[in-house]
Amino acid sequence: MKNNVSPMLRDNSLTGKTVVITGGGSGLGKAMALTLLRLGARVAICSRNEEKLRNAVAELRTHSGNDQVTYATCDVREQAQVDAALEKIRNTFGSFNGLINNAAGNFVSPTERLSSRAFDVIIDIVLRGTKNMTLSAGKYWIANNIRPVSVVNIVTTYAWTGSGYVVPSAAAKAGVLALTRSLAVEWAKYDMRFNAVAPGPFPTKGAWERLLPGDLARKFDPAARVPLRRTGRHEELADLVSYLISDFSGYINGEVITIDGGEWLQGAGQFNGFEAVTPEQWDALQQMIKSKKK
């Protein structure tokens, strides 16, 4: 595990928090788990691959110094498996009061090449999976008067811009964002907060293998698309999410926070491409504009 950077929040900021992280056995989910554990939370990670989860738990224990971490296998697409996983976690920890919907499936493809099943598999992992977890956890929190609760949904910036070549993912993430904002209002009366985080490019094996296969990583260098000219660091995302899980963010509800080095705005501003104009060209252009005024 690479992250040796101290968390942003002070020690024990998350004591009393028990957080379920879907897809917590790899990539960004594992990075979030590490930071939450370092801050004193109890953490349960879940996904489909038991061996991966078991190894991740051992790694997380060693690197965080906190042994309050467990796993439950489940395919988030299946409501019965989700219910069983949350029950297993409650049996281990007694209860839980945080949820990070992070599990996702994705790959790049021209949309016309997708089978109906290929489209469905992404919608099912991302949107149905988030719905399954949220509904099961929400009903439990309401029935047992568990409060306060914080839910963080990991989306992307194309949840609102849309994007070609990842259309099922864009549609599903947009649905997750709508679910986030809707429940932020409806379930606030139960002292539950719902927020989303939209990361830009953060190198992970899972994302890079599926979104930038072959020489696409060289041809479409993700760092070059970012005004800050770099990709994100896992601990930067983990700090943001730990803040949203913590009570320090108690008045933030229904928000989507972008953490992308300015990437999506770079594409949105009509004149941002003018970055390529050289100082000499600017001198000439200025002269041209001024002479027109005369």
Beta bridge partners of 99: 20, 151
Q: Does 180 contact ligand NAP by CB under 6 A?
A: no
Segment interacting with ligand HXC (CB under 6 A) among 59-67, 199-207, 267-275, 285-293: 199-207
Per CB under 6 A, the list member of 55, 59, 61, 75 interacting with ligand NAP is 75
Segment interacting with ligand HXC (CB under 6 A) among 64-72, 100-108, 236-244, 276-284: 100-108
Segment interacting with ligand HXC (CB under 6 A) among 103-111, 235-243, 266-274, 276-284: 103-111
Task: Judge whether 158 counts as a catalytic residue.
Answer: yes
For ligand NAP, which is the closer residue by CB, 29 or 168? 29
Contacts of residue 262, defined as CB under 8 A and 6 or more positions apart, other chains included, come to 226, 227, 228
The interface partner of residue 115, options being ligand NAP, ligand HXC, none and the CB cut-off 5 to 8 Å by kind, is ligand HXC
- Count of CB atoms situated within 10 Å of the CB of 214: 7
Distance between CA atoms of 73 and 88, rounded to whole angstroms? Answer: 10
Distance between CA atoms of 41 and 242, rounded to whole angstroms? Answer: 10
Q: What is the DSSP letter of 126?
A: I
Per CB under 6 A, the list member of 48, 63, 181, 233 interacting with ligand NAP is 48
Closest CA to 90 of 52, 25, 137: 137
Of 165-184, which residues contact ligand HXC (CB under 6 A)?
Answer: 169
Q: What is the DSSP letter of 233?
A: P
- Count of CB atoms situated within 10 Å of the CB of 281: 11
Of 1-40, which residues contact ligand NAP (CB under 6 A)?
Answer: 22-23, 25-29
Provide the minimum distance between the beta carbon of 288 and ligand NAP in the complex, in angstroms, as a whole number: 42
Radius of gyration over alpha carbons of the chain, in Å? 21
For ligand HXC, which is the closer residue by CB, 81 or 109? 109
Query: Hey, what are 230's tokens?
Result: 């770099």
The interface partner of residue 150, options being ligand HXC, ligand NAP, none and the CB cut-off 5 to 8 Å by kind, is none
Closest CA to 103 of 180, 29, 208, 20: 29
**What is the full DSSP assignment across 67-103?**
--EEEEE--TT-HHHHHHHHHHHHHHHS---EEEE--
Of 214-273, which residues contact ligand NAP (CB under 6 A)?
Answer: none
Distance between CA atoms of 88 and 23, rounded to whole angstroms? Answer: 16
Of 111-140, which residues contact ligand HXC (CB under 6 A)?
Answer: 114-115, 117-118, 121
Distance between CA atoms of 287 and 294, rounded to whole angstroms? Answer: 11
Q: Give the active site residue among 158, 165, 243, 251.
A: 158
Provide the minimum distance between the beta carbon of 211 and ligand HXC in the complex, in angstroms, as a whole number: 6
SS3 47: strand
User: Which residues make up the interface to ligand NAP (CB under 6 A)?
Assistant: 22-23, 25-29, 47-49, 52, 75-77, 102-105, 125, 129, 154, 156, 199, 201-202, 204, 206-207
User: Which residues make up the interface to ligand HXC (CB under 6 A)?
Assistant: 104-107, 109, 114-115, 117-118, 121, 156, 169, 201, 206-207, 210-211
